[in-house]
Structure 1
């Protein structure tokens, strides 16, 4: 792309040695809310249209918040600096009107409006003899003016839920009308966002900022940087990642003229292929109906009866249409005939939920007898001495496109969904289901014959894959469960024909992106869901609905119309005009310079992209179009940085060391990673030590989801680490460093809590920083101190970072970081709790009472509970949890413990345990005198602890007032009993 002519009229290097805003303050809670809104928009996310199969993209809003935070200076006025950052991210109260998406509800108005605003927006009318409230009919401008003030009082999460995302309304439009205000604060003269970015770069680095990402993945970081106006260099070892990043910059980032040309080429290719498919007469029946989808299942011969049985987990085709499969025994051929019945009775529909596969076994009825055989037994699965599983399946050959007659698993077409001839060209098509006829089966044979004839030539030219599936953690699945040995075995003949025709005609890089979207819906791994679609219609899934290669017993094969339509990409347009480059190479071998390295490394990554993307690489590795010819079309698994442990640490040190060497002395790195374990911090400290980096700040961004695919322990939070080059060669001793850490952590948290209080004093309804942010800031403060030193107790920490660890050895880094957490927790005294009382509580008590404070807000996120459990060293916090649902987590109430439930290690013989038991008794109508008697028995030195017990009861009464009124009342009664009891 062409470089932009410099427009800077600012002083070069004026900010060279100035701290960035993200090193000082950063509104992590507001950024979390905006980030989650973007993530939850699903297919509405800007880059998802390029490839929904890449699951690990960081939200664009989060990346842009990092870039602005890195470029903006910390001027010494935190509140003024945050106001400017809010404006640049579209989060300011001044920008509410432009972002208003849906009007305020009557409930919102009652809750947040002033009396005057309420009267302006709401009127009372007489209707059917009663008075009712309704919204007044106002001009849009007037309504928005009044509503904006109400929005500004709402909690930020509630406000954003009913507003458009900044990029939906045009982030540059939100910002540019307010640039005069920004210029006055920064001393810039910009008239556009790219000009402002360039001027900040000149002031800090002497030129427009250069941003690089050595783990570019799905392209979020390079795209966000380029969209703002930075020069960008992106690379990844994986060619699919680099291709997606190229697409973000050159397709989503294309101007309108280029986009029209891309879309025209897409339409021409689709029309050409469609005409060829139609001419082959393989998708139309004699009445002109056209197939929308073909439903296939595996068949296997039962070893007990010798019958060939379809493997169908369910006999339901469509719940909405009450359509099911009927199996009729064919005693002559020892198999089952299949018919399709529509509009069956509720009883028949219910009975069809149970198919011929139950609990992993082939199970069916024949002549009144029930037969059942485990599918593992059918395959002959056996475990070898090395722990691997083998079986008796035949490995398919390079020339195979369907099972041979002797294979255990056969593939059977059992149903076709047809589009009626007269609705083919209508916007709303009509469809019906039918069992295949003899003519349909002849068309199947025709397809197989065409593919067999073309396969040798197409494989030699790369139009159909000819590569073996390399064994691995994810790629073993199709080999082990089906005997598929080459990548083209994962595709049905119909799709081999369709994809081969498309691949033969592809000529541009943009088409590769379309093609990969088609690959994601064309293999034998596409699920059939009888009730998942809109209105309960049948929905056909994607291959990568999760991050694995899942073989299926029955699957959908979409007709060519659906496939061709899926490849027509229409993402939003964001014209990019800076210098952008994309390459494929190892992060450890980078050779390009950048001012900001922003990366999302593969730490403990459950997504094995190195293996699963070979599914796509197999189709593109031969004769890819320019500019992809310079890419290395191989996953290069051996070079991929994955997992954890010693090898991971060494690779990461090499990668981040290379980035450090290629940035200026005042450059910066921002590292994003998923925080799942406390040991992560010690590992990351050692990695940054080895790479010559000094941690300056850390921020926590909540990214939870309640997706069915992520239930169970997959709660996520992203930590943003800010790093600079380490200067000097300081040495220190552990006992001195511990005290330095204590002071640094305390100062950091006191500063952030003070900013919360100042902003609340200015009318803000909620905290800027919540407890999770304060915890992360405590970690960061510890790492700031630690990573400044090259030697601790005489040990060279750079060399120590690369030394293999021995099991059970003491880790000075881990000890200091744990200490930092304790210091942070001491400073995070819940509102309404006396610091002296807090200091005397056990970890279990602190956890319970702290989370009780958090439950008075809307922040019932499971990762909050997880993080505080780790911080307070509570090993089994689940024992005191009433709910572990990700976004609706909650503690047990006193009544939920029941009598036996109070004997848990998390509380021990503590004051909090005694108070909760007393509240439990009061709720069960035990007399007050008896409750006090039990309390005296439970608490040693009761008289000296009366004040603490009363304070805890009072605290619970106040915290439970709006959460559990009954418990609050009982706690208030207990407080009075303790205070008013007569002591002998």
Structure 2
């Protein structure tokens, strides 16, 4: 029977994300997607944007907002995971390799083989399996699936073929849901429709129907901090009307590309491919006419290698700046610096590396450093004498009396594109990688060569062409003429090279190629994406990596989200750059009826009504997108394609919300207050932010209060792992703060809050703990929620109570929350948050510790006991230690850590702690737990039991006068004995001995 979709039937129903969210599975899925790197769906449009939230997480947030939380939470969880392709049947469908029938029959016990398979010749196999195919009797037997067997029936067997592993381990071996699309969902619709009251047969249909049931129409989604557009793209892909805005035009361009390229119909992709081929053909023709990338003998230049040269002040020699003399590790090529005493310079010759010793010798270049953080210096030898000069000395770096820094570099002007003859830094082509097609036409020969007179002649042709037309091309917008505005990241090229305009970051070849492509983009906005990707890897800031990609690779400017100047760099020839212009973009055509909008304006200028907001604001963001993206704005700001013409082609740095100061808070309040005004009373918001600041809860509570919102839930999902862009010891996660409009004017007092917060937190913790027990079977004995998840939900419960009230103790909380902070002051809001968080932490008592004891412990004691419990259950990611240290207000948790590696962190053992942390400066000073750990250390070191007990009675204050102290010590010893059994059995044995010593001690 088809269910009838009733508009607004879910209007007042709580959303699933406000009650349940399987963050452990989502963390595993998010990690998998992040590890796909360039294989991710939207990265090909702009790999230079790194701050992308996983699409799987975005999808989960939106679905969680639409789905109702019913009185059957276990079934809610089942249906949500079915829709997200995270159930066990979907994992079987996502398996990367199809299991062959013979493989299934070899591993599974099947009572009647012919219920599933056709066997030829019939009768050659027994009725049941498993089958040992090495038996000669089965040689030549063919087995295939029955034709009348549905995919769903096949999947029942495939589920049994899954290894008996954790969800995270299984996810590592399967495809991402988006890679296998709807095929993983064909088994779910009876269950989904029965539970939700829908009649859908696709994800998009269920999203549309839930939107009608909750909002009366297809859900209207908005993200006013769109960035690279990951969140609004996913909203549109799953069937919501999607509105995206951002102040930065490059962010808007990426979002537009998500909608209009990746989300376009297949005919649009075919049209784009045709235009891409035409573009490449036309540019190649012009390059061939100029004759600037061919040696005339069938070889084309793949990479031009340039370096800067400086005059050594000690010798007067011109010295090329080369951190290494190795040109290519893979092709065993290096350069020799051959002295030319007459002209006081070096000739540079490319040759093959002879042996390992030669490779070792070539690794040392003329630019060196004595260690990380040390100033780099120039080093070369004349007549056997080494001469060293710091690069900062060469530049003439100084700091004046007012503290301002500077140097003696000449500042380039608008007409410059090569150095003046008297500039400190000269530029030199020192090697070229050539390529020539093999006879088959399917591969190439490659070789590195020294620079010849013909090569230098071609360089002059390029320089003359740019010099002749520079002013004209700048006027037409084909080459940048935009000045570099000083900033935290943009000051680097000015300070270290004297470059003051954006076109100075490109050499003549790069400017000429950029002009050729930029002038041909015309009005096809889709071509701008390949162009921006090409310029990212073809600049004076494009590093030459001599160890990658066979012969080497020219890397992107924004591999490290900065504008670091280089001593040497790679310049791509057009044949090596062209693939960025012809790349194939993934395609997920949006369903008919979905509307998408992209606007370039500040986040507080949104208009229209939107039902769901999911935003990822720039809280404490270290990436200065408002500065570095001017690299691309400079190329596109004049005569942009019609689709981009109405945007302000400026980064508008001063208007960007950034940092964590007072301006940031006020900007955030203005943004979220406007979003709240543009949301119906039954609308919902999810705010994403990185949990990295100790003041984060107070800040976010201030913003929520002042914006007219109320917290209804919070979840923590691990979304980032080690990478070159981040500290390898710092796993980062994302907090999802779920909010509703705060309706009415509710008042309370601080005293009344206490009981309410404690009751709400306790109820939340018990609810999730209970669901863990209900769902054990579904999760192969894995928990749905770990302690960190329950802790976060406890925080949310506390915030849920607090932000429900507009007035506390007679104070208007909206006004109180935007009151300027005084450094060091604990505000009324800070105090309330601290109290709420502490109340939440009181509920996180590890099993085996009495709550009466837990309530009396110091933060460091709670931290160690909780993390010992986590380690015993195999959880060793650093973010857990960081989060619980903040939760328990531990000043310096690192003092207790033996390892701070991202995914294998651990506490110091009792033996490793030894005698440390016993003094007055320690957070464990005179604590019962520290005394117990000290006693365990002594027993492990074979100290006599009587001596250990004597020391314990001295280390625990009032041992003989307070029976509670003795009981706490016995309890801690018993706790350690049980928790350390698997991880540190020797210490567990010592803890058991200590427990018995305390129990049997005679007092009095």
Aligning the two structures, in what range does the TM-score lie when normalised by the shorter sequence? over 0.9
Cα distance, 1:122 vs. partner?
Answer: 9.7
- Give, in angstroms, the shift of residue 328 of structure 1: 1.4
1:824 Cα shift? 2.1
State how many pairs are aligned: 959
Q: Tell me the equivalent position of 2:279.
A: 269
Map 1:210-229 onto structure 2 (within 5 A).
210-229=220-239
Residue of 223, 232, 238 corresponding to 2:248? 238
Match in the other structure for 2:311: 301
**Residue 413 and residue 857 in structure 1: after superposition, are their counterparts in 2 closer, same or farther (change >3 A)?**
farther
SS in 2 for 1:619: helix
CA offset at residue 673 of structure 1? Answer: 0.9
Q: Pairwise CA RMSD of aligned residues?
A: 2.7
Q: Does 1:331 align with 2:320?
A: no
Shift of 1:785: 1.4
SS in 1 for 2:271: helix
The 3-state SS of whatever aligns with 2:389 is strand
What is residue 132 of structure 1 aligned with on the other side?
none
1:27 aligns with 2:22: yes
Alignment pair present for 1:493 and 2:508: yes
Are residues 85 and 36 of structure 1, via their aligned partners in 2, closer, same or farther at CA, if it must alter by over 3 Å?
same
Matched, 1:279 2:293: no
**Separation of aligned partners in 2, 1:222 and 1:836:** 48
Structure 1 equivalent of residue 115 of structure 2: none
Residue 477 (structure 1) aligns with: 492
1:109-148 alpha-carbon deviations (Å, 9 max, x no partner)? 9xx99999xx97797999xxxxxxxxx9997999975552
Judge conservation of contact 1:9–1:199 (CA < 8 Å) in 2. Answer: no
2:649 partner SS: coil
Task: Describe the SS at the equivalent of 1:708.
Answer: coil
Q: Write out the 4+ residue segments of structure 1 that deviate beyond 6 Å after TM superposition.
A: 112-116, 119-126, 136-144
**CA 456–224 in structure 1, closer or farther in 2 if over 3 Å, else same:** same
User: Residue 36 of structure 1 aligns with which residue?
Assistant: 31
Give the match for residue 442 of structure 1. Answer: 457
Distance in 2 of aligned mates of 1:377 and 1:223: 50
- Partner of 1:931 in structure 2? 948
Of 505, 508, 518, 1:503 maps to: 518
Superposition pairs for residues 612-761 of structure 1, below 5 Å? 612-711=628-727, 714-760=730-776
Which residue in 2 is equivalent to 1:185?
A: 195
Cα distance change on mapping 1:290 and 1:276 into 2, 3 Å: same
State the partner residue of 2:122.
none
Between the aligned partners of 1:758 and 1:15, the Cα distance in structure 2 is: 26
CA distance in 1, matches of 2:134, 2:991: 44
- Cα distance 1:751–1:94, how it changes in 2: closer, same or farther (>3 A)? same
2:165 aligned with 1:165: no
> What is the aligned partner in structure 2 of residue 919 from structure 1?
936
1:836: how far off?
3.7
Cα 1:762/1:522, change in 2 over 3 Å? closer
Match of 1:87 among 82, 88, 101: 82
Counterpart position of 2:60: 65
Q: Which residue of 1 aligns with 2:263?
A: 253
Match of 2:114? none
Moved more, 945-954 or 677-686: 945-954
| CA distance 1:583–1:744, change in 2 (3 Å) | same
Distance 1:115-1:773 versus aligned 2 partners, 3 A rule: farther
TM-score normalised according to structure 1 size:
0.93
Q: Is the 8 A contact 2:304 2:572 kept in 1?
A: yes
Aligned match of 2:123: none
Matched residue, 1:559? 573
Q: Flag structure 1 segments of 5+ consecutive residues without an equivalent.
A: 1-6, 127-135
Instruction: Measure how far apart 1:245 and its partner are.
Output: 0.4
Kept after mapping to 2: 8 A contact 1:153/1:765:
no
Contact 1:210 1:230 in 2 (8 A): yes
Q: Is the Cα contact below 8 Å between 2:283 and 2:516 reproduced in 1?
A: yes
The answer to whether the Cα contact below 8 Å between 1:290 and 1:421 also exists between their aligned partners in 2 is no
Q: CA deviation at 1:928?
A: 3.3
Residues 704 and 886 in structure 1, CA contact (< 8 A), matched pair in contact too = no
Q: How is 1:519-534 mapped onto 2 (pairs within 5 angstroms)?
A: 519-531=535-547, 533-534=548-549
Distance verdict in 2 for CA 1:125–1:931, change over 3 Å: farther
Q: Deviations over 1:484-525 (max 9, x none)?
A: 111111011111111111111112010011111111101111
Give the Cα–Cα distance (whole angstroms) in 2 for the partners of residues 568 and 421 of structure 1: 19
Of 909, 921, 930, the match for 1:893: 909
- Conserved? CA contact 2:977–2:988, under 8 Å: yes
- 1:162-195, Cα deviation, whole Å (9 max, x unpaired): 111111111x332354223211111112233222
* Contact 2:604–2:670, Cα closer than 8 Å, also in 1: yes
CA-CA distance at 1:841 after TM superposition: 2.9
CA contact (8 A) 1:102 1:162 kept: no
Q: CA deviation at 1:68?
A: 0.5
Name which of 795, 807, 822 aligns with 2:823: 807
Alpha-carbon distance between aligned partners in 1 of 2:682 and 2:778, rounded to the nearest angstrom: 35
**Cα distance in 1, alignment partners of residues 419 and 109 from structure 2:** 72
1:609-657 deviations in Å (ceiling 9; x for gaps): 1111110011111111121112211111111111122111111111111
Q: From the superposition, tell whether residues 143 and 15 of structure 1 become closer, same or farther in structure 2 (CA, over 3 Å).
A: closer
Alpha-carbon contact 1:529-1:541 (below 8 Å) kept: yes
Q: CA deviation at 1:428?
A: 3.6
Contact 2:11 2:213 (C-alpha < 8 Å) held by counterparts:
yes
Q: Which moved more, 1:868-877 or 1:796-805?
A: 796-805
- Partner of 1:474, secondary structure, is coil
Task: Give the TM-score normalised by structure 2.
Answer: 0.91
Seen in structure 2, the aligned counterparts of structure 1 residues 800 and 314 have a Cα distance that, compared at 3 Å, is same
Q: Deviations over 1:257-313 (max 9, x none)?
A: 211111121112112211221222111113321111111111000111111111111
Deviation at 1:382, TM superposition (A): 1.5
- Deviation of 1:844 (Å): 1.3
Distance 1:959 1:556, change over 3 A: same
Distance in 2 (CA, whole Å) between partners of 1:273 and 1:651 is: 45
Tell me how far apart the structure 1 counterparts of residues 904 and 98 of structure 2 sit (CA, whole Å).
26
Aligned with 1:789: secondary structure?
A: coil
Please say if residues 53 and 719 of structure 2, whose CA atoms lie closer than 8 Å, have aligned partners that are also in contact.
no
Aligned to 2:642, the other structure's residue is in SS state coil
Post-superposition CA distance 1:681-701 (Å, at most 9, x none) = 111111122211111111111
Q: Is the CA contact 1:928–1:977 (under 8 Å) kept in the aligned structure 2? A: yes
Task: Give the conservation status (yes or no) of the 8 Å contact 2:765–2:793.
Answer: yes
1:98 counterpart (89, 93, 102): 93
Is this contact kept in 2: 1:317–1:325, CA < 8 A?
A: yes
Q: Which of 940-949 and 953-962 deviates more? A: 940-949
The answer (yes or no) to whether the contact 2:711–2:800 under 8 Å persists in 1 is yes
- Asked whether the 8 Å contact 2:300–2:434 carries over to 1, the reply is yes
Distance 1:737 1:443 in 2: 78
- Structure 1 distance, partners of 2:133, 2:935, is 49
Distance 1:428 1:837 in 2: 72
